[in-house]
Amino acid sequence: MKAVQYRKVGQAPEVVDIPMPRPGPGQVLLKVTAAGLCHSDLAVMGWPEEQFPYPLPMTLGHEGVGTVAEVGSAVTAVAEGDEVAVYGPWGCGQCPKCAVGKENCCPHAAGLGILPPGLGSPGALAEYMLVDSPRHLVPLNGLDPVQAAPLTDAGLTPYHAIGTSLPKLVPGSTAVVIGVGGLGHLAVQLLRALTPATVVALDVSKEKLELAHAVGAHETLLSDDAAAARVRELTGGTGAEVVLDFVGAEATLAVAAASVAVEGDVTIVGLGGGTLAVGFGGGLPFEVSASFPYWGGRRELMDVIELARRGLVSSHVETFTLDEAPAAYERLHAGGIKGRAVVLPHA
């Protein structure tokens, strides 16, 4: 079968022919219908050889949706033909975090060698993919697979990030979204669907700001040195209750720090490598909380799929074939994808 693999550190991903996987006991084989391209894949492919943590070659793709093609022995929870989304942050399945579906917070997964598909295990950028347990599958309940693929990360991660801040997003509050790409354009919609907050979106690209506006942002601002002052102005001087940074660079974190209100939240989602000084004398208003959430919980993925089924959020997508995936990654790297790039392996 065809797959898109990262084969050697520093080299571009390649379309290759690899053997068709077969499900072992407890596993599920999916015929992949749609797979999203995430900016984190670019981050991973930018890591130096001495720090690269995964075995190579590695089939990419951690946003996957598919149809159950074959089940391993003892699998009864899903059957051939079921349309499912893959919950990616696989945990041990046994600990207190996993017991409540927060496998993204499982402290044992890495030690046990359990790695997410596309981030260590073979991923969704292939005609077929193996899923280690039916526990990682969430039914689509009729949602379009192309719509659903980005929800498994670009939807789930902001949903999880926003969830912690919901008590602060009361009427009259403001939420700032920095970076309106795959995650950010869904974050804007999730904020609108879940809260009465005024949503202010920042990006460096005019097209992305147009998208932000089209999906529900009340205000859009170019992400520059003047942005924080403008957020303060828009909030009558107090700043935003919640700032979600989907870039995470030094420059955007400075904007976040200068935009947040007393008792506000700064949530760093982007892997841009910046850091935020937290503590007295660090420059943040009093009582600000800072966090850097990772992906989301299994139940939260079910919630996001349900929101999409009800038409409250929708993924803005551009589709590609498997052969086009390496070029699509280049476009993503150059900032040329509006919304999410989604690969259709059987198109």
Q: What is the Cα Rg of the chain in Å? A: 20
**In whole angstroms, how close is the CB of 224 to ligand NAD at the nearest point?**
8
At residue 342, what are phi and psi to the nearest 5 degrees? -125, 130
Helices (H) and strands (E) in the chain, counts: 10, 16
The stretch near ligand NAD (CB under 6 A) out of 137-145, 263-271, 297-305, 311-319 is 263-271
Phi, psi of 81 (to 5 degrees): 95, -15
Q: Cβ closer to ligand NAD: 163 or 335?
A: 335
C-alpha to C-alpha distance for 150 and 261, rounded to whole angstroms: 31
Q: Does 57 bind ligand NAD (CB under 6 A)?
A: no
Return the H-helix or E-strand segment holding 176: strand 174-178
Measure Cα distances from 227 to 123, 180, 198, 305 in Å: 38, 15, 16, 33
- Residue 47 interacting with ligand NAD (CB under 6 A): no
Residue 339 binds Zn ion (CB under 5 A)? no
| 259 lies in the site for ligand NAD, by CB under 6 A | no
Q: Does 92 bind Zn ion (CB under 5 A)?
A: yes
**Buried/exposed code over 98-109 (b: 16+ C-beta within 10 A; e: otherwise):** beebbbbbbeeb
Q: Hey, which residues between 98 and 127 contact Zn ion (CB under 5 A)? A: 98, 106, 108
Residue 270 touches ligand NAD, criterion: CB under 6 A: yes
Report the C-alpha gap between 161 and 126 in whole angstroms.
29
Q: Is 85 helix (H, G, I), strand (E, B) or coil?
A: strand
Q: Does 220 bind ligand NAD (CB under 6 A)?
A: no
Residue 222, classified by CB atoms within 10 Å of its CB into exposed (0-12), middle (13-18) or buried (19+), is middle
**Residue with the two structure tokens 């006991």:** 25
Q: Which of 25, 24, 7, 28 is nearest to 16 (CA)?
A: 7
235 binds ligand NAD (CB under 6 A): no
69 alpha carbon, distance to own chain's centre: 26
Q: Given the complex with ligand NAD, which of 212 and 307 has the nearer CB atom?
A: 212
Q: What is the DSSP string of 182-209?
A: HHHHHHHHHHHHH---EEEEEES-HHHH
Q: Which is nearer to Zn ion, 21 or 118 (CB)?
A: 118
Among 15, 18, 194, 251, binds ligand NAD (CB under 6 A): 251
Q: Which is nearer to ligand NAD, 107 or 172 (CB)?
A: 107
Write down the least CB distance from residue 121 to ligand NAD, Å: 17
Site residues for ligand NAD, 5-44, by CB under 6 A, read: 38-40, 43
Q: How many residues does the chain have?
A: 347
CA–CA gap between residue 46 and residue 6 (Å, rounded):
11
Size of the site for ligand NAD (CB under 6 A): 35
Sheet-wide strand order for 240-245? 219-222, 198-203, 174-178, 240-245, 260-268, 289-291
- The residue with its CB nearest to ligand NAD is 181
Number of residues interacting with Zn ion: please give it, by CB under 5 A. Answer: 9
To Zn ion, the closest distance from the beta carbon of 69 in angstroms equals: 24
95 binds Zn ion (CB under 5 A): yes
Closer to ligand NAD by CB, 89 or 239: give it: 89
Residue in 199, 260, 269, 343 binding ligand NAD, rule: CB under 6 A: 269
Pattern of binders to ligand NAD over 148-167, x per CB under 6 A?
-----xx--x----------
Which stretches of the chain bind Zn ion, using CB under 5 A? 38, 40, 91-92, 95, 98, 106, 108, 153
Binding site for ligand NAD (CB under 6 A): 38-40, 43, 153-154, 157, 178-184, 202-205, 208, 223, 246-249, 251-252, 269-272, 293-295, 332, 335
